[in-house]
Amino acid sequence: MAVIARNLRWPWIAIGVSLAVSFTLAMTSPADDVQGDLVRIMYVHVPSAWLAYTAFFVTFIGSLVYLVTRNLKADRVAAASAEIGVFFTGLALALGMIWAKPTWGVWWTWDARLTLTAIMFFVYLGYLALRRTTDDPVMRASRASVLGVLGAIQIPIVHFSVVWWRTLHQPPSIIRPDGPSIQDPMMLATLIISVIAFTVVYVSLMFKRIELIHLDDERRAVEDSPDRPVAGEAVTVPELGAN
C-alpha cells in the first residue's frame, strides 16, 4: 500500500473527480419542496456522517488487530482512519449547525444525536492526543488501541439515537424497513452517489495518510538509532605540519 501511494498520483485524481461529480450532482438536483436549496447541504452532511462511522469502525478493526497480532501496520491503519474520521465528524457537525439555524431556529440544541456526535468527536480527538503522549511506537500503539476498541461502542449509539429517543433530528432517510423516505429519484440518486464519492475520498486519503505515518515512523527510528550519522563527523582536524 505504501509503495502504491508513494509512486502513483491516482489518490489525488480520485479525490478530485469524486468531489467534482458530487458537487455537480448536488448543484443540478432539484430543490426540496419545503427546504428549497437548503437541502443541498444534505449531499455533504449525510456522506460526512457516514464516513465518520466508517472511519471509526476501521479504527476499531485496526486497533483490535493490533492488540491480537502486535503488528504496527494495523496501528497505522487505525491512526490514519481516526484522523480522517475526526475531520468528517467535524464537517458533519459544522454543516449540521448551519442546516439547523434556518430549520430549527437555533445553531445548536442538546438533541440526542447532536450531543452524542459531539461526544464522539471529542473522544476521538482524545484518541489522537493520546497517541502524542509518547514517541515509542509500541507503547503508543498499545495505549491507543485500547481506546480505539472502546470508542467504537459510540458508533451504534450515535446512529440509532434518532430511533431510540425522541429527537429533533430526522430519522434515517435511506436505510429504513419501509424503504427510503426520499421520494424524488434524482435526489435519492444524488445522495447515494455522493456517499459513494465521499467513500472514494476516504479510501484515497487513507492511502496517503498511512504512507505519511510510515515515513514518520522510519524517521523516528533513524533518529533513535545509535548508529545514526552525527552532524560534523566527517570533519577532521587539519594536520598543522602538512604542506
Q: What is the pLDDT of residue 236?
A: 65
Kindly tell me if the per-residue pLDDT of 167 is higher than 90: no
Q: What is the pLDDT of residue 229?
A: 62
Kindly tell me if the per-residue pLDDT of 134 is higher than 80: yes
Q: What is the pLDDT of residue 179?
A: 54
Residue 88 sits at the vertex; the CA angle it makes with 32 and 75, to the nearest 5 degrees, is 150
Work out the pLDDT band at 146, boundaries 50, 70, 90.
very high
Q: What is the pLDDT of residue 162?
A: 80
Q: How many CB atoms lie within 10 A of CB 51?
A: 24
- Which letter, b or e, does each residue of 216-242 get, where b requires 16 or more Cβ atoms within 10 Å of its Cβ? ebeeeeeeeeeeeeeeeeeeeeeeeee
Q: Quote the domain boundaries for residue 64.
A: 2-214
- Which letter, b or e, does each residue of 69-88 get, where b requires 16 or more Cβ atoms within 10 Å of its Cβ? eeebbbbbbbbbbbbbbbbb
Kindly tell me if the per-residue pLDDT of 111 is higher than 70: yes
Q: What is the pLDDT of residue 172?
A: 64
Q: What is the pLDDT of residue 232?
A: 58
Q: Which grid coordinates are listed for 143?
A: 495505549
Higher pLDDT, 153 or 161: 153
The residue-averaged pLDDT of 11-35 equals 87
Q: Coil, helix or strand for 73?
A: helix
- Amino acid sitting at position 219: R
The answer to whether 189 touches 41, Cβ cutoff 8 Å, is no
Q: Which grid coordinates are listed for 133?
A: 503522549
If you count them, how many residues does the chain have?
243
Residue 131 belongs to a domain = yes
Kindly tell me if the per-residue pLDDT of 31 is higher than 80: yes
Residue 231 belongs to a domain = no
The residue-averaged pLDDT of 55-70 equals 96
Q: Where are the alpha helices (DSSP H) in the chain?
A: 2-7, 10-28, 42-69, 72-104, 112-131, 137-151, 154-164, 185-224
Rounded to whole angstroms, the Cα distance separating 194 from 237 reads 66
Chain centroid to Cα 105, Å, comes to: 29
Whole-structure pTM value: 0.81
Residue 59 belongs to a domain = yes
Residue 238 belongs to a domain = no
Torsion, Cα of 218, 220, 224, 227 (10° steps): 40
Q: Which grid coordinates are listed for 73?
A: 501496520
Q: Which grid coordinates are listed for 217?
A: 515512523
Kindly tell me if the per-residue pLDDT of 234 is higher than 70: no
Q: What is the pLDDT of residue 1?
A: 39
Q: What is the DSSP letter of 41?
A: G
Q: Which grid coordinates are listed for 126?
A: 482524545
Residue 235 belongs to a domain = no
Least confident range from 10-19, 81-90, 194-203, 231-240: namely: 231-240
Work out the pLDDT band at 238, boundaries 50, 70, 90.
low
Q: What is the DSSP letter of 30?
A: P
Residue 55 belongs to a domain = yes
Residue 7 sits at the vertex; the CA angle it makes with 4 and 12, to the nearest 5 degrees, is 80
Q: What is the pLDDT of residue 3?
A: 39
Q: pLDDT tens-digit profile of 168-201?
A: 777 666 655 555 666 678 888 899 999 999 999 9
As for how many domains the chain has, the answer is: 1
If you average pLDDT over every residue of the chain, what do you get? 84
